[in-house]
Amino acid sequence: MNKTRLLTFIVVVFLFLFSACKKDVEPTVNTTLAMGTVITQSVYGEDVEGTISKVTKLVNDLDTKRLSWRIEGSEIYNINKTGEAEVSKVVLDCIQTCLEISKDTDNLFDITVGNLTNLWGIGTENAKLPTEKEIENAIKNIDASRISINGNTIKVAEGQNLDLGAVGKGLACDEIKFLLDSESSFIPGGIFSVGGSILLYGENPNTKNGTFNVGIRNPYGTENDSMGIITCKKVCVSTSGDYEKILTVDGKNYHHILNPKTGYPAESNITGVTVVSESGVLSDALSTACFILGYGDKSKELLSKYNSSAVFIMKDRKVHTFGNIEFKIIDDSFKMG
């Protein structure tokens, strides 16, 4: 999905989020671009412009100074360039969480996929369908268990490259929450969308119990169509699906969620999954992991371990939920499984 289409989708989602609410309190809305995606802040409270500016700077700094593997001088760039580098506590904690999830999924979720994602380039101007030989070479060094940690120094094995794209947006949500919690100016509530991850902060002043309605995209419709609603608050929500960032070659679509074992876009029994968690890193990482795993016992065990909930959209339009989640279908072409 290009930035213009994504921006349109985000705006529609936010309109949808507030359409079910009374119009007695209006948020301040700000939209910008960072981390290769659209960042939308919809913040309740008075004089929130300063806070919005701080959030914008935070997300930009997180990308350029810490997470980007493309920007020279960032922590991940330095690791990939030299094989090891010191990192901030933010990045260290994130990588440690990723390594734990890698163990839980037998490395189906793996942050050492940098060579593979760079090879495909899906979502960039350099997207291409690689040859089997190129894919074979790209996956031979994928193995998160070969990452070593000594204090705050991260070291990768020879030939490995990190890519934190599967958790970066979720980490941004966590860092935004930390910033807002420490702000001297009180922010009663708001929605902070970073690409496919959303932070629902505080409470919605326009509903009795402070909840927000989050629309889940219809995988078979346009980017403006929702098939269901999750009602929640004070959580992070992340979605992974095979309908975003598509490379089309000879009439065949290739999505951007790659299976580290095969080197090709992941194939499972689902077309999309949305994960709800108190942690943005977890919601982001688990949505990717669950998409690759598909709906089944392994995904349920993974979600249960991390106290997270999910909505799975099957390829036959059946829908399954797991965990403590309030969800309803609003498109009759979908049915609960």
* All domains of the chain in start order, with CATH: 3-57+189-336 (3.10.520.10)
Task: State the pLDDT at residue 23.
Answer: 59
- What is the rounded CA–CA span in Å between residue 134 and residue 128? 11
Is the pLDDT reported for residue 105 higher than 90?
Answer: yes
pLDDT at 19 over 70: no
Given this model, what pLDDT does residue 183 score? 80
Per-residue confidence (pLDDT) for residue 113, from 0 to 100: 98
Split at pLDDT 50, 70, 90, the class of 5 is: very low
pLDDT of residue 89: 98
What average pLDDT does the chain have?
Answer: 93
Q: Residue range 131-137: average pLDDT?
A: 98
Look up the pTM and report it: 0.92
pLDDT (average), residues 154-163: 98
Looking at residue 24, its pLDDT comes to: 77
| pLDDT given at position 244 | 84
What's the pLDDT at 8? 39
**For the chain, percent of residues with pLDDT exceeding 90:** 89
Q: Measured between alpha carbons, how far is 26 from 57 in angstroms, rounded to an integer?
A: 24
Average pLDDT over residues 36-59: 95
What pLDDT score was predicted for residue 10?
42
| CA-based torsion, 206, 207, 209, 212: positive or negative | negative
Q: Which of 260, 264, 280, 268 is nearest to 312 (CA)?
A: 268
Least confident of 35-39, 174-178, 237-241: 35-39
Task: Label residue 11 by pLDDT band (50, 70, 90).
Answer: very low
* pLDDT for the residue numbered 229: 98
Enumerate residues 6+ apart whose C-beta is below 8 A from 323.
276, 303, 304, 308, 309, 310
What percent of the chain has pLDDT above 70?
A: 93
pLDDT of residue 3: 40
pLDDT in tens, 209-255: 999 999 999 999 988 899 999 999 999 999 999 998 899 999 999 99
Which residue's structure tokens are 């040859």?
A: 131
Query: What are the CA-CA distances from residue 15 to residues 29, 92, 168, 333 (Å)?
Result: 11, 36, 25, 23
pLDDT digits (tens, 9 = 90+) for 287-333: 999 999 999 999 999 999 999 999 999 999 999 999 999 999 999 99
CB 76, CB 160: distance < 8 Å? no
Q: Return d(Cα 202, Cα 4) in angstroms, integer.
A: 29
